[in-house]
Amino acid sequence: MSHVIHRSLSATPPIAVAAQGIHITDRDGRRYIDASGGAAVSCLGHGHPAVLAAMHAQIDRLAYAHTGFFTSEASEALADHLAQHAPPGLDQVYFVSGGSEAVEAALKLARQHFVEIGQPQRTMFVARRQSYHGNTLGALAVGGNEWRRRQFAPLLIDVGRVSPCYEYRDRREGESQIAYTQRLLDELDAEFQRLGPERVIAFVAEPVVGATLGAVPPTPGYLRGVRALCDRHGILFIADEVMCGMGRTGTLHAVEAEGVVPDLITVAKGLGGGYQPIGAVLASSKVIEPIRRGSGLFQHGHTYIGHPTAAAAALAVQQVIQRDGLLAAVRERGDHLARALRDRLGAHPHVGDLRGRGLFMGIELVQDRASKTPFDPALKLHARIKAAAMAGGLLVYPMGGTIDGRRGDHVLLAPPFVVTEAEIDQIVDRLAASIEQALAGLPLR
Ligand SMILES: Cc1ncc(COP(=O)(O)O)c(C=O)c1O
């Protein structure tokens, strides 16, 4: 028996032994197409020679130095690169080792900002239902993933809560998209008023919602409306781009497509592409300067922040994305993926919605298309699809609880930016077959 505490305590997953390009191979010699990059991580695929070379070179020179004593060339160069390509003004970078740490750091940075500018009464965060911001206690608290939160709820800080921007289910019959968007913004403003806007530190949201909803972009103007409301009340806007950022949706930062500049952006998965554990918070000078002039110290830190090897890997990943024009590739191949999904699954009686942006697509499954009735959660359709896909040599990221943490099933696709059109067709073929196989196994049918 394995001594590792795996995600499931009742099953040991296959042992991965090798990976190259879009494929992962297990110890039994089975080869899988990695069509979700794990959880939207492997943006360059596996074994990219430029990233491996950068990591080898860094390890040979300096694997690690504690940031309480030193900075490193690698982390300085990565911060320069990120600042250069960031939305206007977001040129300060705090490095961490993953997405949850990035969110924790953003929450604390936002709080400390207000303490240092003489607004210590700001103690509340507002965030959305059906969102995910990480599994550490602060990040779990702002997240609105009911299933993940339930048993830990007594340990979590109180957070103001509003609806997600989830047009497929929540726009009413006869309601225009503009009216729906305005309804959401009115709800957000009402929540700010309920809490007292002068008590709110920040609004936290995923610009394109990832694992919890399954690649749901906002309606046009929603994030601009959010930005305006935050500005009106002096509230910071934290965009959690841990999953949707770093090129996944076809722009380096997902907010670019919305014409919005947040105060803080969290990034992680696609930053290092899985080659090393790394995340970051991009912050505006507006947030950082009062701290620099005040205490002069962000009261935070972990042992591995600014890790040189992680920074070298991430810099190489980001340089390859620029060098090889991969943001344009994401947009083009994303169009191909959307087309292939529409052609293959668009009229499927159990596919309710196909959505997403770039190489970040979600497929929501329903028992009945017209009424959008979901499958009985007890059937665990999402888990059946994952198992069928793996048995057929395909890795996708299905999840249940799409609607409210309990009901609803979706599949998330997030293939590497280097995927070819032929590989996309193969992914869609295998996915369609896996969905059929999972549906055929349901007791209802
Ligand atoms: C939007 C978002 N924020 C935060 C996290 C947490 O990241 P990590 O798992 O690296 O801690 C995730 C992970 O899926 C995420 O999707």
Give the per-residue pLDDT at 1. 82
Give the per-residue pLDDT at 444. 60
99 touches ligand 1 (CB under 6 Å) = yes
- Collect the ranges in the chain with pLDDT lower than 50: none
* Probe residue for ligand 1, chosen from 36, 42, 133, 399 as the CB with the greatest number of ligand atoms within 8 Å: 133
CA 443 to ligand 1 center in whole angstroms: 34
Count CB atoms within 10 A of the CB of residue 332.
15
Task: Please list, in sequence order, all residues whose beta carbon lies within 8 angstroms of the beta carbon of residue 294, skipping any fewer than 6 positions away.
Answer: 116, 117
271 touches ligand 1 (CB under 6 Å) = no
Count CB atoms within 10 A of the CB of residue 415.
29
Gap between the Cα atoms of 405 and 118, Å rounded: 38
Ligand 1 atom at shortest distance from the alpha carbon of 243:
16
Please choose, from the candidates 41, 415, 74, the residue with its C-alpha nearest in 3D space to the C-alpha of residue 245: 41
pLDDT digits (tens, 9 = 90+) for 331-358: 999 999 999 999 999 999 999 999 999 9
Q: Are 363 and 354 in contact (CB under 8 A)?
A: yes
CA 355 to ligand 1 center in whole angstroms: 20
CA 149 to ligand 1 center in whole angstroms: 14
Task: Please list, in sequence order, all residues whose beta carbon lies within 8 angstroms of the beta carbon of residue 393, skipping any fewer than 6 positions away.
Answer: 30, 31, 32, 33, 430
DSSP-assigned letters across all residues of 8-58: STT-PPPPEEEEEBTEEEETT--EEEESSHHHHT-TT-B--HHHHHHHHHH
Gap between the Cα atoms of 381 and 223, Å rounded: 32
Gap between the Cα atoms of 87 and 227, Å rounded: 14
pLDDT digits (tens, 9 = 90+) for 17-56: 999 999 999 999 999 999 999 999 999 999 999 999 999 9
